[in-house]
Amino acid sequence: MIRKPRQITPYADRDLDCQAALEDAFQQMVRLAITSGWDKIEAITALQELAFAHLSTEDDNMRITLAILQAGLTKH
């Protein structure tokens, strides 16, 4: 089970708390990959690349949303 944040609103070290909360699940995914025949570095690298790809997608989505909002504001 993944721990919840200490509070809903932002706080100092929230990012570190999230990392700590996800650590066990991360290690479990690495172990599963190793059990399936991947080596540890391949598994960790793949997880890193997946994370970067998801961040890029989120960034793209945010840019598109902002562009749409700006276009809507300039029409009025």
- Residue 74 within any structural domain of the chain: yes
Count how many domains the chain has: 1
- Residue 76 within any structural domain of the chain: yes
Domain extent at residue 60: 45-76
Summarised one tens digit per residue, pLDDT across range 1-16 is: 899 999 999 999 999 9
- Residue 3 within any structural domain of the chain: no
Angle CA(52)–CA(56)–CA(58) in degrees, nearest 5?
A: 115
Summarised one tens digit per residue, pLDDT across range 19-74 is: 999 999 999 999 999 999 999 999 999 999 999 999 999 888 888 888 888 888 87
> Can you say whether residue 2 is alpha, beta or left, with left for phi > 0 and alpha for psi between -120 and 50 degrees?
beta
- Residue 21 within any structural domain of the chain: no
- Residue 73 within any structural domain of the chain: yes
pLDDT value at position 32? Answer: 98
